[in-house]
Amino acid sequence: MAHDAHHAEGHAHAHWDTSIYPFIISFGILFLAVAFSFKFVYHNGFAAILAMGLGIPMIIAGIAGWTSEAMGKGEGLSYGAMGWFILAEAMIFVSFFVSYWYTKLHVDVWPPAGNVELPRTMPLVMTFILVASSLTIHYAEHLLHLGNKAGFRTWYLLTIVLGACFLGMSVYEWSHLIHSGFTISTNAFSTVFFSVTGLHGSHVVVGLAIFLAGLPSVMRGDIDEGFMRTAGLYWHFVDIIWFFVVSQVYYW
Amino acid sequence: MNLKEWIFTTDHKRVGVLYLIGSIAAFAVAGIMALLMRAELSTIGPTITANPSQYNVWLYTHGAVMILGFQIPALTGFFANFCIPLMIGAKDVAFPRVNALSVWLFYVGVILALLTFFIPDPPDVMWTGYPPYSTITTGNTAMYSFTVLILGFASIIGGVNFLTTVAYMRAPGLTLNKLNIFVWCTLAAFVLQLIFVPVLGTAVSLISMDKYLGTNFFDPTKGGDVLTYQNLFWFYSHPAVYVIFLPFIGVVYEIISVHARNAVFNYKMVVYGGVGGIVLLAGEVWVHHLYVSGMADWLRIGQMVTTLMISIPVGLMMIGLIGTLYKGSIEFNTPMLYGLGVVFLFLIGGLTGIPLAVPSLTIGVSDTYYVVGHFHYVMAVAGTFAIFGGVYHWFPKMTGKMYNEFWGKLGFWLTFVGVNIVFWIMMDVGVKGMPRRYYDYAHFPQFESAHQWMTVGAGILAIGFALAVLNWIFGAINGKPAGDNPWNSPSLEWSTVSPPPHGNWPSPPSVSEDWHPYGYKKG
Amino acid sequence: MHDKIRRGAAGLAALLLAAPVWAAGAGAKSEPKTVDPARDWDHLWNEVIVDITIIGILFAIVTAWFIWQARRRPGNEVGASPKLSPASAVGWVVIPIFVFLSIDLYTAANGWVLWNTFRDVPANRLEIKLEAGMYSWDYTYPNGVRTQNELVVPAGTPVVLRMTSRDTLHSHYIPDFRVKEDSMPGRITYLWFNPTKPGEHLVTCAEYCGVMHGYMAGRIVVKAPEEYAAWMKGEETSLAAATAPAAVPATATKPAKTAAKKT
Ligand code: HEA
Ligand code: HEA
Ligand code: CUA
Ligand SMILES: [Cu+2]
């Protein structure tokens, strides 16, 4: 994928490959970090918006440019790389869970004062939906492997819909809890509850974003099987993590 | 020269050079912070600033930038990028754009760290960022969190990239037992990064969440626990010292085997016993940083044994290194001087870790200058010498030109003398009771002259380091042509022209049955 | 040439094993009469320092000798390291592991013994509560007497501090007694020391706690038991005389600098 920059020039080997997008994304992230400081440290909302206004478009433009520049030119290594990346991601969840257990086991009274009754059925429904979406993407990949592009598209879209349903239910639950006075700063449990479900939710968002990034090519029909397998792998990971989330924060 | 093709490059060698420039700049800034600190400590009471906060900000930037902005990027950024694809005979890394993203994220991280000097209420949380101080200070803790997060993310995607590269892109015939020791060491470091950086990222995010978003992870009045942070932090930051140690000792292996023109002693022992053993043990010793912080007793005792056992794989690596010298043919040029310097200085640093590993002894010396002396020997001195030696060693490959031997050797000897003055005295005052992170040591008047000697030593070693950097700059501009393989090394990176072109080899190399990176032959 | 390596290795192993044995002999000579962790600390510290010095010097000498014999001379442009037989390759792993492990375990065992000394508080102790804060040490005696930045104790009685903090981390470090332990909000930690004879000892803060961390000092005043009793009498009467609010020491606002000046 590095050898695509030279067709503009006649003499191919005098030029070195370049890509402007990594640079743009990095500095976009810099603006986001600065925006956080403006908002929460210096309480300057206007400057924060300004920095976000620079950062977010830079990141989006960077990602869009990157995908269009590189999509389909992968060397089939992204599946293996995703495995390593998932290892790193899993460690984030591990550190959340371990600090949760550490805190919980050390104090005398648990949960701390201020807790509310968490819903019991909603998480089961959410589990069902997420597992279903894992199965649909798996089936979609299977169809793609057999060469059935139309079938792939159907099940792919279904996966996206299921993922979106899951996200919607999360949002509904959060707003419900927040309205009943249970917020992230109520106590140590609420902190864990919101940060762990939020962290997981953000992974759902990333998973969906990957699917959406692949959507144009799916609609066009020039589907990159390696990309889809990698996206599917990530989605399975998000699903598996959910089992830990649901068992640890809702039922334990 | 086309500037655009440097800044937006996706080529691993140029990305590597960008890493080198950035990390040396970070080293210079953090080194100047060290000199300011030394100047401040040269007398009791205010010396160059009357504001303790100012000192704390220097100390914060010094520690954080030296570790996160200099050593880790120089080792897993510059050396890994420049050497690994060349050593395994690959055209480039698996994901060149991801590589470019990681170097620019590194620059962004360093920029954030250096913004410290320009923002109101700069962070003053030390490189460890312990709550509750970090959550109640008026300093800007968010800056600390984001610096660490961004540098950590850069490092993770770099790790993913290189593990994939070495797994799938080795030249035909290059089996695992023919990898350079440096490649093994760096892969191990990346595995450690992948497992442990996310934990650090979590830790530093939690303090900013507690401080700015109202969460209660570390607030005991709401059911949180202060010690959670320290556990998370050291669960990463101990392995991080091996993320530094492994690549730097790998660099020293390359230097010593090439300039002694000798095969590495007991290759398999080094790889499977040394590197493998360190990876296995690295995650089970973090509590040795919490011996006096109120951890459960059983954890402290258990991890005393694992910490002491780290001396086994590290000892095996030392034996391999020293054995490589045996019956060699040593040329005492600048890279070799740095390499040999590391052997001696690392012995001092590593062995002074042994008393620290025993919790009952740590009760006396933890958080004193003894600890500061220990880790400067092992990391700041041994690590930096390895980096400097490595830059000299691959300098002809990078630039096609030769550095100046005279100035190189002079720089080495100045730093060698300087570091021993500074860091030996440090350990001595530490054992006698001097605590670390003191802006002023008014109740320890007996240490004033020792502190003055340290300041003098710091001046000497600073000149030495500056000479080395100047030597590279002049060498890169108008050094003598060096030829493709000035050291006559059989290792793959020397088999292409200097500097290597885009794509590294006109046609990808393959290696024969009896080739080995350390196969020195008569003739 | 194989022989040389082998002989060198054997000598090295023997010396490495000898070090702990020798050090053990040095340690066994001292029969403790009263439990004094500070004195035991000095013993173990010296032992371990001697151990690591011997190891370090051995490695350094071997390295220096190898460097000397391997310097480049005309005619030996290429190194000639012997190729290891499989047996000696394995031996070079197993023997060092064995040697290093025995040193490690020996050190760990000694460390474990001293650790128990530092953690098992004698029964005849004086229990004192300590609340650390930015930037002062506030001690409370069992009878309610409070002092700030100065702890008066009787000679010959072990003293245990039950510590917590009202704000950030602090670490109550008494260099003369070789002991420190962090204090923090939400947990109670402890340390103990044995003041054997009258005198004054510096207390200094060893955990970064804020801007004035370097100035957070105090002292331990060890008095002869009778003097201590007299002093305590005086404190008790003034405690009884004072109204409750006045007995609360002014803490956070008081600049720690003055505290440091006293010592
Ligand atoms: C590159 C970095 C690096 C490396 C490699 C090490 C290596 C070691 N470190 Fe160090 N350490 C740091 C960087 C490093 N450290 C830093 C930065 C801190 C302070 C952080 C802070 O608080 O800010 C620190 C602090 C630190 C502490 C905490 C002190 C305290 O705060 O109270 C301890 C305690 O156990 C410790 C121990 C060790 C040990 C046992 C090793 C071992 O790995 C050493 C092993 C090496 C040898 C032993 C020598 C060679 C071996 C032989 C010759 C074989 C024979 C020897 C024997 C059998 C003994 N270190
Ligand atoms: C790799 C890490 C590293 C390195 C290399 C160094 C290098 C040095 N360190 Fe530091 N140090 C730390 C890591 C490191 N340190 C850490 C982690 C801490 C703990 C922080 C904390 O408590 O949170 C610490 C703390 C620390 C303290 C303790 C302060 C205190 O506790 O109050 C001191 C005190 O003297 C000190 C001194 C020095 C000195 C004199 C050097 C010297 O070796 C530096 C010499 C370098 C230079 C002077 C730069 C030379 C100039 C150039 C290369 C530029 C040339 C360019 C041109 C000419 C164009 N360091
Ligand atoms: Cu209290 Cu430092
Ligand atoms: Cu450590």
pLDDT tens per residue, range C140-198:
999 889 999 999 999 989 999 999 999 999 999 999 999 999 999 988 999 999 998 89
pLDDT bin (cut points 50, 70, 90) of residue C219 is very high
Contact at 8 Å (CB) between A84 and A64? no
> Quick one: which of A173, A178, A171, A174 has its CA closest to A205?
A171
What does the angle CA C164 – CA C170 – CA C173 come to, to the nearest 5 degrees?
A: 100
What is the distance between the alpha carbons of residues B228 and B235, in angstroms, rounded to a whole number?
11
Contact at 8 Å (CB) between C49 and B370? no
pTM confidence score: 0.89
Judged against a pLDDT cut of 90, whether residue C77 lies above it is answered with no
Q: Does B429 sit in the ligand 2 pocket, CB within 6 Å?
A: no
Contact at 8 Å (CB) between B315 and C96? yes
**Contacts with C201 from chain B: Cβ below 8 Å:** none
Closest chain C residue by Cα to residue B355: C48
CA distances from A54 to A49, A64, B107 (A): 9, 16, 18
What's residue B307's pLDDT?
A: 93
Judged against a pLDDT cut of 80, whether residue C4 lies above it is answered with no
- CB contacts under 8 A, C 8-47 vs B, are 41, 44-45
| The token pair that represents B448 in the structure block | 């004033």
Closest chain C residue by Cα to residue B522: C78
**Nearest residue (CA) to ligand 2, atom 17:** B63
What is the distance between the alpha carbons of residues C129 and C183, in angstroms, rounded to a whole number?
11
The residues, any chain, with a CB within 8 Å of residue B301's CB and separated by 6 or more, are B359, C112, C115
Q: Does C130 sit in the ligand 3 pocket, CB within 6 Å?
A: no
Find the Cα–Cα–Cα–Cα dihedral A142, A148, A149, A153, rounded to 10°.
Answer: -60
Residue A215, burial from CB neighbour count under 10 angstroms (0-12, 13-18, 19+): middle
A·B CB contacts under 8 A:
195
Q: Does B435 sit in the ligand 1 pocket, CB within 6 Å?
A: no
What's residue B434's pLDDT?
A: 93
Residue B163's region, left for phi above 0, alpha for psi from -120 to 50, else beta, is: alpha
Q: Which domains does chain C have, with CATH numbers?
A: 2-68+88-119 (no CATH), 126-242 (2.60.40.420)
Residue in the structure block whose two tokens are 């805190």: A103
Q: Does B38 sit in the ligand 2 pocket, CB within 6 Å?
A: yes
**Contacts with B432 from chain C: Cβ below 8 Å:** 175
Residue in the structure block whose two tokens are 């989006």: A60
Instruction: Flag whether residue C80 sits within 8 Å of chain B, measured between CB atoms.
Output: yes
Q: What is the DSSP letter of C220?
A: E
Q: Do A187 and B7 touch (CB under 8 A)?
A: no
For A70-84, the DSSP string reads: HTT---S-HHHHHHH
Judged against a pLDDT cut of 90, whether residue C55 lies above it is answered with yes
| Ligand 4 centroid from CA A106, angstroms | 24
Q: Which ligand is nearest to the CA of B241?
A: 1
| Ligand 1 centroid from CA B354, angstroms | 7
CA distances from B95 to A22, A75, A88, B88 (A): 12, 9, 18, 16
Contact at 8 Å (CB) between B266 and C88? no
Q: Which ligand is nearest to the CA of B460?
A: 2
B225: distance to nearest CA of chain C, Å?
Answer: 7
> Quick one: which of B16, B3, B11, B29 has its CA closest to B465?
B29
Ranges of chain B whose pLDDT falls below 50: 523
Q: In what order do the strands lie in the sheet with C217-223?
A: C150-154, C217-223, C199-205, C170-174, C179-183
Q: What is the DSSP letter of C71?
A: B
CA distances from B385 to B71, B248, B334, B342, C208 (A): 11, 9, 11, 6, 30
Q: Does C216 sit in the ligand 3 pocket, CB within 6 Å?
A: yes
Residue B121's region, left for phi above 0, alpha for psi from -120 to 50, else beta, is: left
| Ligand 4 centroid from CA C165, angstroms | 26
pLDDT bin (cut points 50, 70, 90) of residue C245 is low
**Residues, chain C:** 263
**Contacts with B503 from chain A: Cβ below 8 Å:** 13
Alpha carbon A220 to chain centroid distance? Answer: 24
What's residue A8's pLDDT?
A: 37
What is the distance between the alpha carbons of residues B370 and B515, in angstroms, rounded to a whole number?
46
Q: Does B126 sit in the ligand 2 pocket, CB within 6 Å?
A: yes
> Quick one: which of B267, B256, B263 has its CA closest to C79?
B263
**Nearest residue (CA) to ligand 1, atom 42:** B350
| Ligand 2 centroid from CA B14, angstroms | 28
Closest chain A residue by Cα to residue B506: A13
Closest chain C residue by Cα to residue B353: C52
What does the angle CA B359 – CA B364 – CA B370 come to, to the nearest 5 degrees?
A: 100
What's residue A221's pLDDT?
A: 77
ipTM of the complex: 0.88
| Bridge partners (DSSP) listed for residue C136 | C133
What is the distance between the alpha carbons of residues C50 and C46, in angstroms, rounded to a whole number?
6
> Quick one: which of B285, B434, B427 has its CA closest to B351?
B427
- CB contacts under 8 A, C 185-204 vs B, are 185-187, 189, 191, 202, 204
C35: distance to nearest CA of chain B, Å?
Answer: 15
Closest chain A residue by Cα to residue B96: A2
What's residue B120's pLDDT?
A: 87
For B428-450, the DSSP string reads: HHHHTT-BSS-S--TT-GGGHHH
Return the half-sphere exposure (C-beta side, CA atoms, 13 A cut-off) of residue C172.
32
| Bridge partners (DSSP) listed for residue C127 | C160
Contact at 8 Å (CB) between B78 and B16? yes
Rg (CA), chain C: 27
What is the distance between the alpha carbons of residues B85 and B503, in angstroms, rounded to a whole number?
10
The residues, any chain, with a CB within 8 Å of residue B151's CB and separated by 6 or more, are B68, B69, B72, B73, B105, B106, B109, B110
What's residue B343's pLDDT?
A: 94
Which residue among B103, B164, B222 sits closest to A80, beta carbon to beta carbon? Answer: B164
Name the CATH topology of B8-495: Cytochrome C Oxidase; Chain A (1.20.210)
**Nearest residue (CA) to ligand 1, atom 58:** C100
A132: distance to nearest CA of chain B, Å?
Answer: 29
| Ligand 4 centroid from CA B286, angstroms | 6
What is the distance between the alpha carbons of residues B151 and B147, in angstroms, rounded to a whole number?
6
Q: How many helices (H) and strands (E) does chain C have?
A: 6, 10
Backbone phi, psi, residue A69, to 5°: -75, -35
Tell the CATH superfamily of the A76-250 domain: Cytochrome c oxidase, subunit III, four-helix bundle (1.20.120.80)
Contact at 8 Å (CB) between A144 and A164? no
* Amino acid (one-letter) located at C161: L
Q: In what order do the strands lie in the sheet with C159-165?
A: C146-148, C136-140, C126-133, C159-165, C189-193
In chain C, where does DSSP find H-type helix? 2-28, 37-69, 86-119, 225-241, 244-247, 256-262
Q: Do B232 and A91 touch (CB under 8 A)?
A: no
| The token pair that represents B468 in the structure block | 């080395």
Return the half-sphere exposure (C-beta side, CA atoms, 13 A cut-off) of residue A83.
7
Closest chain B residue by Cα to residue A95: B199
Residue B60, burial from CB neighbour count under 10 angstroms (0-12, 13-18, 19+): buried
What's residue B410's pLDDT?
A: 95
Domain extents for chain A? 16-70, 76-250
Ranges of chain A whose pLDDT falls below 70: 1-14, 71-76, 108-109, 113-114, 252
What is the distance between the alpha carbons of residues B229 and C250, in angstroms, rounded to a whole number?
31
Q: Do B360 and C209 touch (CB under 8 A)?
A: no
> Quick one: which of B81, B65, B84 has its CA closest to B19?
B81
Which residue among B142, B224, B231 sits closest to A37, beta carbon to beta carbon? Answer: B142
B·C CB contacts under 8 A:
256
Q: Does B37 sit in the ligand 2 pocket, CB within 6 Å?
A: yes
Q: Give the Cβ contact number of residue A172 at 10 Å.
A: 11
Domain extents for chain B? 8-495
Ligand 3 atom nearest residue C134's Cα? 1
Q: Does B289 sit in the ligand 1 pocket, CB within 6 Å?
A: yes
Q: Which ligand is nearest to the CA of B306?
A: 1
